Amino acid sequence: MPPKCLTFVLNDPPYESARSTTALRLLDAAIRRGYDVNVFAYEGAVGLACASQMQHANPIHGRDAASEDHPNPKDWIAALQVLARQCSVRLDWLNCGQCSDERGVAEAIPGVRRGSPADLWAFVRASVNTLVIPTS
HSE value, Cβ hemisphere, 13 Å, CA-based, for 94: 20
H or E element at residue 68: helix 65-68
Min dist. Cβ of residue 4 to another protein (A): 5
Listed in sequence order, the residues at least 6 apart from 136 whose beta carbon sits closer than 8 Å to its beta carbon are 17
65 lies in the site for another protein, by CB under 8 A: no
Q: Which of 15, 19, 90, 111 binds another protein (CB under 8 A)?
A: 19
Phi, psi angle pair for 133, to nearest 5°: -105, 100
58 lies in the site for another protein, by CB under 8 A: no
Using the CB atoms, write b or e for 23-59: b if 16+ within 10 Å: bbebbbebbeeebbbbbbbbbbbbbbbbeebeeeeee
Q: Which of 1, 18, 60, 118 binds another protein (CB under 8 A)?
A: 18
87 lies in the site for another protein, by CB under 8 A: no
Interface stretch with another protein, choices 31-39, 47-55, 75-83, 111-119 (CB under 8 A): 31-39
Mark residues 113-132: x for contact with another protein by CB under 8 A, - for none.
Answer: ---------------xx-xx
CB 111 within 8 A of CB 93: yes
Q: Which of 16, 29, 69, 82 binds another protein (CB under 8 A)?
A: 29
The contact set with another protein (CB under 8 A) reads: 4, 6, 18-19, 22, 25-26, 29-30, 32-33, 35, 128-129, 131-134, 136
